[in-house]
Structure 1
Amino acid sequence: MFRFCLVTMVTLSSIPLLNSTALADLQVGAAIVNISPNEFPVIVNGNMTASSGQKIKTPVNARAIVISDGTESIAMVVVDSCMIPTMLLDDAKHRAAKRSKLKPDHIMISATHTHTAPSSMGLLGSDVDLAYVPLLREGIVEAIVAAESNLQPARVGWGTAQAPEFTALRRWIRRPDRVDTDPFGNPTIRANMHAGRNPDDVTGESGPEDPQLSLIAFESHAGVPIAVLSNFSMHYFGDSPISADYFGLFANGLQDYIKTKHPDAKNVVAAMSHGCSGDIWRRDYTQTDHSAYSTIESYTEGLLKIATETFDTIEFENADSIAMAESRLHLPYRVPDQQRLEWGQRIVESMEGRMPKTITEVYAREQVLLHELQSTDVVVQAIRIGEIAIATTPNETYALSGLKLKRQSPLEKTMVIELANGADGYIPPPEQHPLGGYNTFAARSAGLEAQAEPKIIAAGMRLLEEVSGKARRPHMQPQGPACTAMLEAAPLGYWRLDEMEAPVARDISGHQRDGIYEPGVVFFLAGPHSSAFTNDMDPNRSAHFAGGRMRSRISGLKDGYSVSMWFWNGMPVEARETAGWLFSRDHAHSITSAGEHLGVAGVGDHQGRLMFQQGTGNEPVFGTTPIERWTWNHLVLVREGSKVRVYLNGNEEAELQSDSLANLAGGVDSIFFGGRSDNDSNWEGRLDEIAIFDRALTADEMKPIAAK
C-alpha cells in the first residue's frame, strides 16, 4: 500500500542511550513515506468550491524526524496536505505512540498547505475524502515509526537567511470610499487578499511580511547529514493536482543538493514546513514586473539557491537535552446570530443536499455548521532542541503573529510552524477584524473568536518559557542615532509606533504619556530610515492608519510647542477634499475655536500639499510642495506665540507659515495623530517617530531629528 524511502541509515539499538546530562547524547532519525492516493478521482480541498484530482503530478509525502536525548523523545512530521483536523492527528499520534517509545503529546504534525493534495477535512465548499483518510493516517504513523528506528548519534545546527523577493503581503487595505461587499451582503471589506492588484483601490499593505528562511539541520558525528527542517512564510505557489506544490519540490531539491555534496547522505530527509503566512503570498503588488520566478520551478530554484548557501554555512554542535510542552485551549466560534442562521438555513435547504456552487451557498452552509459546532479545542506546542526552539499554531497565522513569537521568544533561534496539530482556520490579530475581508468571514476557515490570536500566541509564549526555562525577551526596537537625537532634545512625549498590538502606544520620553490606538490601526509596517532610527539589521517599524487614530493628553501645552513626525500617505490626493489629517489638537468629537489641525489637502488648487487649519472660520494655509504618494516625509510644526511654521523634509525654509491666532485659552489637552478631533477625513497611511516638545524647536535642534 505504501511506498517507502526508508533504507535504514545506522540503527544503534544495541548501544545504550546516555543519560540526559552527558554531552553528545542527542540521537536523530528521519524517514519519508509516500502518502499519494491510489484511488481516483480524489477530492482536493483548498478551493472555494469542490474539485478533484485525477492523477499524480508529484508525489505527496509524510516526512518525519525523531529526536531523543536519552530521557525525552520528540517526533516532528511535515505532511504534504492542505490542512489536517485535530481529531485525525490525535488518532495518528496515539497509534504512533503504541508502536514507538513516543508519547502522543511529544509528537508534532504539520501540514505544508499545498492546495493540490487529497482532502483530509471538510473546508468551505469541499468535503473530506473518506477513502483517503486511512491511507494518510497510516502513512503518518509509518513515517514516525520508521524515523525512530533510524536513530543515531547526531549534532544540530541552525541557519537563517533573508529572502524578501520570494514573499510579500497579499492582504491590502482598501480606500474608505471603495469598501467592498461581503458574502452576507454587507459593505464590510476594508481589507482583502490581492486587493493590491489595482493600486488605485488601496492605501497600503495591512501588515508586515517575514522574509526569514530558517533551517534546523542534523548531522551524524561523522559529518553526514541526516535531516533538515526548513521554514518559510509563503502561502503556496499553486499547481495542478495531485501535487506537493513548491514545498515538495523544495524538499526534494535540497535533498538532491545534499546527496551530491555528501555522497554518504543517501537517506537524508529534507522538509519545508509552513511559516506564518495567512496574509502572505509570493507576488509583491508594490512592483509592476512580476516576471521573475513566475513558474513553480523557477521560484523553487531561486529559494533553493538561498537555502543551499545557508546550509553550507551551518555550524553543528552537541545538544545536551531536548524538551516539549503542549497546551490545549477551548475556544468559541463566532457563531451566527438568529437572523444570519435563518438566512443560511433557507439557502442550505434550497440546495437539497448538493454541494455549494456559489460563494453565497458556501458561506450559508458554513453558518449552519458553525451553529452546530459552537466551539472547539486547539493544540499549541513548543519544542526545544538544545538552544533552538520551535513554536506551533494550529491556524493560518498572519506573519505578524509569527514575528511576535520569534522576537519575544526566550531563545533567539526560534522557528514558528503553522497549521500544526490541527486546522482551525485563519486567526487574524484582533485589529484586523474591523477591516473585514476573506480572512475574517465567519466560517470553519476563519471562525474562531476575534481574540483567538492573542490567546494562542500567549499560550505559545508560555510554552516557550516552559521548555527553555527562561523568560521571554521584551520587544524593543534598537535606538539609532536619530532616535537618540530625538531623546536628547527632551520631548514631552515620544511615540515610536513600533507596537505589535493595540491599544497602547508607548511613550519612551520618560514622561509616561502613553497613547491609545483606536480601532482602524494596524501594526509593524516598514518605517523610515532604519539605519538612522534602528540599525541596518533591524527594520524600523511604523503603524498604518485606516480610519483610526492614536490619541494622548498633554496638559499645559500653550502657544509655544513643536511636533515632529514622519508620515507616508496611501490615499490618492485626488480622491477627496482632504487627503487626510495628520495632527489635531482640539476637544474630542468637535471642531472649536481652540483647535489646530495639520493635514494634506485633497482635490483642488492645493492638491497634495500640506495644509494648516486654526480655530473655526479661518481659511487654511497651504504649503507649496506636493506630497508624493507612498513615500516617507518628515515634518516639524513649530508654534511660537501667534506664529506657526511647518518645515518639510529638513528644509531650512518653512513650507508654510501662518500668523492667524486660534483661541488657546480653552485648556485643550487632547492631541490626535492620524486624524482630526472630529474624525473627519482621518489619515490613510503610515505614521512613525512622533514627538512633541514644550517649546519652539530651533533650526539646530531640528536637523538631527530629520534623519536625512
Structure 2
Amino acid sequence: MKLRFIACFVFATSALHAAEFRAGAATSNITPELGSSINGGFQDGKAAFIHDELNARCLALDDGKTKLVLVVADSCVIGRGIFDEAKKMVNEATGLPMENMLMSATHSHSCGTAQAVGQSEPSPLYQRFIARRIADGVRRALNNLTPAKIGWGTADVPQHVFNRRWRMKPEGIPATPLGVTTDKVRTNPGINNPNLLEPAGPTDPQVSFISVQSAEGKPIALYANYSLHYVGGVGPGHISADYFGAFAVKIGQLLGAGPEFVGIMSNGTSGDINNIDFRGGQAKEAPYGRIQIVANDVAQAVAAAVKNVKHSDSVPLAVAQKEITLGLRLPTKDEVEKAREVMKQSKLFPRMETMEQVYARETVLLSDFPKEVSAPLQVLKIGDLRVTAIPAETFVEIGLELKKRHTPTFSVSLANAYHGYLPTPEHHRLGGYETWRARSSCLEVDASTKIIAGLEELFEKLK
C-alpha cells in the first residue's frame, strides 16, 4: 500500500517564545430510543436493536489566542437548526464564537432521524436532545484542554472507494421516477450489470488526518477524513455508526491509546462515491463484515502514517466563515398538480409505495420551499493545513479540485447545515439519481461553482 505523508511545521507566535498549545477531546452519546425513526432510505425504518452507540465526537484546539472546535456526529444528515442551537448553547456557556465551531454529520444510514429526508420524519425531542448532547460534548472537550502537540498527514487507501455513477449502454438507463429519459449515467447500476461501460468520475483514495498528542506524546485524539459515502450491511432495524464508529475504536487500539482517547472519522467529498465494486470484485460478507474490513484497513494505514508525522507544540489557529445565497430548483404549478394525482395512487396513503410516488411527494413538498437558501461556508486554518466545511453531499470532483488548488487541505461534507447533493454542472448535464429533483437534491445547477468561489475568498482571507 502506498503511503504519503504531510508533516507539520513549527510556527512561533512571537519573537521571544511560543504560546502554549492545548487540546482536549470528548464524546457525547446521541443514541436514539428504540422504536424511533431511522432514515437513509426511501422508506422509513424503525430502531429495533442498538448494535453500537452513536456519538458526537468532539475535538477542541487552542493556540493561546484562538480556540477551534471540530465535531462529528453519528447521523445520516443534520439540519442547520440543530447545529446552530448547539453552537449557541456553547457560545452562551463559554463565549466561544459560533463561527469557531465546525460541526458535521457522518452520513451513516443506520442512525436516528435528525432531519426530514425521504419518508422519515424526526422527533422534535430527539432533535433537541442531539443539540444539547453536542453542546455538552464541546464543553467537555473545552474543559479537557491540556498542553498538547499537533500534526497532520495523509495515507492512501484506494481499495475501498468506487465511483457509483456509471456510463451505460443506451439500453442500460431507464427513465427516472420523474419521467426523464435523457440521463446519460446510472447510479448504483448493479454488480456485473452487462450494460456497464465505465465510471462517470474519479475517486479520492486519500485519508487526511489530524493527530493530537499530550505534551508527553500520549494520544489525545485523531480526526480523520475519507471520501467514502458509508458502507452499510447492518442488521434490520439496527442502530450503528457504520465504519465511522468502527474506525474510531480501531484507531485508538492501534495507537495504543487509553480510554480517554477520541477517534473521529468525518465524511469527505463522497457524494458520488461508495464501497461497492460494480465489476464484482468483492466477496459477500456477513452483517458488519464489510464495515470492519474498511475500518481496519483505513485505521492501519493512518496508524502507520502517524509514526512519520512531526507533532508541534506551537501551531497558529484561525477561521473564516461566510454566507452565500444559492437558488433552488423548484417545480412548476403544473408539475405539482400532476404529482398530487400520482400520490393518490398509493394504497398506503399518506405513505408512498413506488419510486414514482415517492418523487411525486418530493415535488409537492418542494412547492413550499423558498426560491433561495443561505448556505454557510467555513475554512479552518491549523498551521499551514486548511479544513473546508461544505453543507452538502459534495461530489468528489469538488474535493479533488480544492486539494489541487491548496495543499495541504481536505474538505468536510454535511457540515454546519444540510442542503442535499452537490453535483458539479457537468454532472447535472449527465443526470443520474443525485441530480433528480427532491428535497435531497434541489440546489441550482451552478451551486458548486458558487461554493468553490466562496471558499476561495475564505482561503484568501486566511493567507
Common fold: TM-score over 0.5: yes
Name the CA distance, whole Å, in 2 between partners of 1:95 and 1:432. Answer: 39
Across the aligned residues of Structure 1 and Structure 2, the Cα RMSD in angstroms comes to 1.9
**Cα offset for 1:376?**
1.8
Distance verdict in 2 for CA 1:196–1:173, change over 3 Å: farther
- Please say if residues 64 and 78 of structure 1, whose CA atoms lie closer than 8 Å, have aligned partners that are also in contact: yes
**Cα offset for 1:198?**
3.8
User: Which of 85, 100, 103 is the equivalent residue of 1:106?
Assistant: 100
**Cα offset for 1:367?**
1.1
Q: Report what 1:449 is aligned to.
A: 444
Q: Report what 2:283 is aligned to.
A: 291
Q: Report what 2:241 is aligned to.
A: 244
- Please say if residues 153 and 208 of structure 2, whose CA atoms lie closer than 8 Å, have aligned partners that are also in contact: yes
Residue 97, structure 1, aligned to residue 78, structure 2: no
Q: Report what 2:355 is aligned to.
A: 359
**Cα offset for 1:349?**
5.6
- Please say if residues 171 and 196 of structure 1, whose CA atoms lie closer than 8 Å, have aligned partners that are also in contact: no
Matched residue SS, 1:99: helix
Name the CA distance, whole Å, in 1 between partners of 2:460 and 2:122. Answer: 37
Q: Report what 1:611 is aligned to.
A: none
Residue 71, structure 1, aligned to residue 65, structure 2: yes
**Cα offset for 1:348?**
4.1
Name the CA distance, whole Å, in 2 between partners of 1:291 and 1:458. Answer: 42
**Cα offset for 1:270?**
1.0
Name the CA distance, whole Å, in 2 between partners of 1:343 and 1:305. Answer: 53
- Please say if residues 28 and 68 of structure 1, whose CA atoms lie closer than 8 Å, have aligned partners that are also in contact: yes
- Please say if residues 235 and 281 of structure 1, whose CA atoms lie closer than 8 Å, have aligned partners that are also in contact: yes
Matched residue SS, 1:368: helix
Q: Report what 2:4 is aligned to.
A: none
Matched residue SS, 1:77: strand
- Please say if residues 225 and 268 of structure 1, whose CA atoms lie closer than 8 Å, have aligned partners that are also in contact: yes
Q: Report what 2:308 is aligned to.
A: 313
Kindly, what percent of the aligned residue pairs are identical? 32
Matched residue SS, 2:170: coil
- Please say if residues 383 and 464 of structure 1, whose CA atoms lie closer than 8 Å, have aligned partners that are also in contact: no
Name the CA distance, whole Å, in 2 between partners of 1:347 and 1:388. Answer: 50
Name the CA distance, whole Å, in 1 between partners of 2:13 and 2:123. Answer: 43
Matched residue SS, 2:294: helix
C-alpha distance after superposition, 1:137-194 (max 9, x if no partner): 1110000000000111222111211111011111111223443200112313321212
C-alpha distance after superposition, 1:91-122 (max 9, x if no partner): 11111111113111111100011100000010
- Please say if residues 175 and 190 of structure 1, whose CA atoms lie closer than 8 Å, have aligned partners that are also in contact: no
C-alpha distance after superposition, 1:250-288 (max 9, x if no partner): 101112222x3x5xx4411110000111110112334x3
Residue 437, structure 1, aligned to residue 432, structure 2: yes
User: Which of 456, 459, 463 is the equivalent residue of 1:464?
Assistant: 459
Distance verdict in 2 for CA 1:292–1:361, change over 3 Å: closer
- Please say if residues 215 and 313 of structure 2, whose CA atoms lie closer than 8 Å, have aligned partners that are also in contact: no
Name the CA distance, whole Å, in 1 between partners of 2:97 and 2:58. Answer: 15
Residue 180, structure 1, aligned to residue 177, structure 2: no
C-alpha distance after superposition, 1:613-669 (max 9, x if no partner): xxxxxxxxxxxxxxxxxxxxxxxxxxxxxxxxxxxxxxxxxxxxxxxxxxxxxxxxx
User: Which of 264, 267, 281 is the equivalent residue of 2:260?
Assistant: 267
**Cα offset for 1:195?**
2.0
**Cα offset for 1:41?**
0.2
Name the CA distance, whole Å, in 2 between partners of 1:306 and 1:159. Answer: 11
Q: Report what 1:638 is aligned to.
A: none
- Please say if residues 124 and 363 of structure 1, whose CA atoms lie closer than 8 Å, have aligned partners that are also in contact: no
Task: Write the letter of the residue equivalent to 1:402.
Answer: G
- Please say if residues 20 and 70 of structure 1, whose CA atoms lie closer than 8 Å, have aligned partners that are also in contact: no
Name the CA distance, whole Å, in 2 between partners of 1:312 and 1:34. Answer: 30
- Please say if residues 229 and 270 of structure 1, whose CA atoms lie closer than 8 Å, have aligned partners that are also in contact: yes
Task: After the TM superposition, list the runs of 4 or more consecutive aligned residues in structure 1 that deviate by more than 6 angstroms.
Answer: none
- Please say if residues 29 and 55 of structure 2, whose CA atoms lie closer than 8 Å, have aligned partners that are also in contact: yes
Q: Report what 2:5 is aligned to.
A: none
Name the CA distance, whole Å, in 2 between partners of 1:156 and 1:165. Answer: 28
**Cα offset for 1:464?**
2.1
Name the CA distance, whole Å, in 1 between partners of 2:249 and 2:360. Answer: 41
Residue 167, structure 1, aligned to residue 178, structure 2: no
Task: Write the letter of the residue equivalent to 2:92.
Answer: K
Unaligned residue ranges in structure 2 (runs of 5+): 1-11
Q: Report what 2:368 is aligned to.
A: 372
User: Which of 334, 340, 352 is the equivalent residue of 2:335?
Assistant: 340
Task: Write the letter of the residue equivalent to 1:106.
Answer: N
Task: Write the letter of the residue equivalent to 1:378.
Answer: A
Q: Which is richer in helix?
A: 2
C-alpha distance after superposition, 1:447-502 (max 9, x if no partner): 100101111122122212222x1xxxxxxxxxxxxxxxxxxxxxxxxxxxxxxxxx
Task: Write the letter of the residue equivalent to 2:456.
Answer: M
Q: Is the deviation greater in 19-28 or in 231-240?
A: 19-28
Q: Report what 1:280 is aligned to.
A: 273
**Cα offset for 1:199?**
4.8
Q: Report what 2:135 is aligned to.
A: 141
Matched residue SS, 2:439: coil
- Please say if residues 251 and 263 of structure 2, whose CA atoms lie closer than 8 Å, have aligned partners that are also in contact: yes
**Structure possessing the higher radius of gyration over alpha carbons:** 1
**Cα offset for 1:426?**
0.6
C-alpha distance after superposition, 1:43-78 (max 9, x if no partner): 011101111112211000001111122222111100
- Please say if residues 19 and 64 of structure 2, whose CA atoms lie closer than 8 Å, have aligned partners that are also in contact: no
- Please say if residues 118 and 129 of structure 1, whose CA atoms lie closer than 8 Å, have aligned partners that are also in contact: no
Name the CA distance, whole Å, in 2 between partners of 1:177 and 1:425. Answer: 29
- Please say if residues 61 and 80 of structure 1, whose CA atoms lie closer than 8 Å, have aligned partners that are also in contact: yes
Name the CA distance, whole Å, in 2 between partners of 1:435 and 1:214. Answer: 30
Name the CA distance, whole Å, in 2 between partners of 1:20 and 1:69. Answer: 9
Matched residue SS, 1:317: coil
- Please say if residues 203 and 396 of structure 2, whose CA atoms lie closer than 8 Å, have aligned partners that are also in contact: yes
Matched residue SS, 2:125: coil
Higher RCO (C-alpha under 8 Å, 6+ residues apart): 2
The TM-score, its normalising length taken from structure 2, stands at 0.91
Residue 235, structure 1, aligned to residue 229, structure 2: yes
Q: Report what 1:391 is aligned to.
A: 388
- Please say if residues 254 and 299 of structure 2, whose CA atoms lie closer than 8 Å, have aligned partners that are also in contact: no
- Please say if residues 61 and 69 of structure 2, whose CA atoms lie closer than 8 Å, have aligned partners that are also in contact: yes
Name the CA distance, whole Å, in 1 between partners of 2:130 and 2:24. Answer: 21
Q: How does 1:28-67 map to 2 (within 5 A)?
A: 28-37=23-32, 39-67=33-61
Q: How does 1:410-559 map to 2 (within 5 A)?
A: 412-467=407-462, 469=463
